[in-house]
Chains A and B, each alone.
Chain A
Amino acid sequence: LYYAQLDEKGKVYTVCELAKEELNQNLVAIDAFDESLLNKYYDAETGIFEEITLSADKTTIQADGQDKATITAKMPKVFFEAVFKNGMTGEVIAVLPVNSETRLAALEIRATTPGEIVVAVEEKLIKVVAQ
């Protein structure tokens, strides 16, 4: 009797083994106690757990204000926009629409001073170094 518990967005915030069979719209029966489902998003139509993935075309850029890296977020179906944040402070950098077909949203970043740039979308992080 394994279940994934979903928040209002469909994100798995708990994986558990309960004593009895439970019928609850926030509970999805799963085959095993699989902690890797945490923070994934459940698509009720397909029954698939999707996660946010972040990628960057470069991990290093020049801190000259010209060189840029593009950070791409692949978002689960439940998202219509991607909120990019500073991964260290939680401050919102940009809110970008998600392409309805590709499920992608892209953010370009440039730097004028050297250092690490940590970008977050929900709980996912990616780091780009400016030098």
Chain B
Amino acid sequence: VFGMMEAMLSFLRRQIGLRTDAADVAGSLHAKVKDIVNKVGTPSDSRANNTLFGWLNTPVKSVQRGVTAPSISDVSTTVTISSVNTSKAIVLISVKGAPGDSTDPQLVFRHGMFTAVLSSSTTLTFTRDAYFTATSQSINIAWQVIEFY
């Protein structure tokens, strides 16, 4: 009986391990807990720490921004950006300025409204439905491309 107890205690000691055990996913209980603590990280971690907290704190990979003044007589305007993964990026735009004078209010509206599309990993394209060549227009498109991990 005494030998049996000794064998069981020895088994438990091996499973629990020591506080000094290094983090190891396949190691003792102490080693496994240390491995989990390392992977969770601390609230101040950034993406570079590659921890759970780090990933939660830094979901954004990059932000690019700009202001574009489309040519008077172009329906479509394309700008160059640094490469992004288009399936993990979003575009935000806002338009300001005077779309110009015309006797047709619908044309003024169509002239000043733009869509924005990531036409490739390195290009952002703004398109409007129609334009007219009044030089009294002044339109600026403010844009941001936000890429996530």
B115 at the interface (CB under 8 A from A): no
B46 at the interface (CB under 8 A from A): no
Whether B135 lies near A90 (C-beta < 8 A) is yes
Whether B82 lies near A123 (C-beta < 8 A) is no
User: With A22-B80, A26-B80, A38-B140 as given contacts, are A15 and B66 in contact (CB-CB < 8 Å)?
Assistant: yes
- B135: chain A residues at CB < 8 Å are 85, 87, 90, 120, 122-123, 125
- Binary A-proximity of B56-88 (CB < 8 A = 1, otherwise 0): 000000111111111110000101111110000
- Binary B-proximity of A2-31 (CB < 8 A = 1, otherwise 0): 000101000001111111101010110000
Whether A88 lies near B62 (C-beta < 8 A) is no
Complex: how many Å from CA A108 to CA B64?
46
Beta-carbon nearest neighbor of B138 in chain A: A123
- B84: chain A residues at CB < 8 Å are 19
- A17: chain B residues at CB < 8 Å are 64-66
A67 at the interface (CB under 8 A from B): no
- B147: chain A residues at CB < 8 Å are 19
Whether A19 lies near B62 (C-beta < 8 A) is yes
- A18: chain B residues at CB < 8 Å are 64, 80-82
Whether B64 lies near A90 (C-beta < 8 A) is no
B15 at the interface (CB under 8 A from A): no
For the residues of A in contact with B, the DSSP-based class is: loop
Q: How many residues of A contact B (CB 8 A)?
A: 28
A89 at the interface (CB under 8 A from B): yes
Whether B66 lies near A88 (C-beta < 8 A) is no
Within 8 A of A (CB), among B110-147: 132-136, 138, 140, 147
Whether B67 lies near A90 (C-beta < 8 A) is no
A35 at the interface (CB under 8 A from B): yes
A118 at the interface (CB under 8 A from B): yes
Whether B136 lies near A88 (C-beta < 8 A) is yes
- A27: chain B residues at CB < 8 Å are 80
How near does chain A come to B35, taking the closest CB pair, in angstroms?
Answer: 34
Beta-carbon nearest neighbor of A12 in chain B: B69
How near does chain B come to A43, taking the closest CB pair, in angstroms?
Answer: 19
How near does chain A come to B82, taking the closest CB pair, in angstroms?
Answer: 4
How near does chain B come to A7, taking the closest CB pair, in angstroms?
Answer: 7
Measuring CB to CB, which residues of chain A are less than 8 angstroms from any residue of chain B?
5, 7, 13-20, 22, 24, 26-27, 33, 35, 38-39, 85, 87-90, 118, 120, 122-123, 125
Q: In the complex, given contacts A15-B66, A15-B67, A39-B69, what are 10 additional A-B residue pairs having Cβ atoms less than 8 angstroms apart?
A: A13-B71, A14-B69, A17-B64, A19-B62, A19-B81, A20-B82, A35-B140, A85-B135, A88-B136, A120-B136
Measuring CB to CB, which residues of chain B are less than 8 angstroms from any residue of chain A?
62-72, 77, 79-84, 101, 132-136, 138, 140, 147
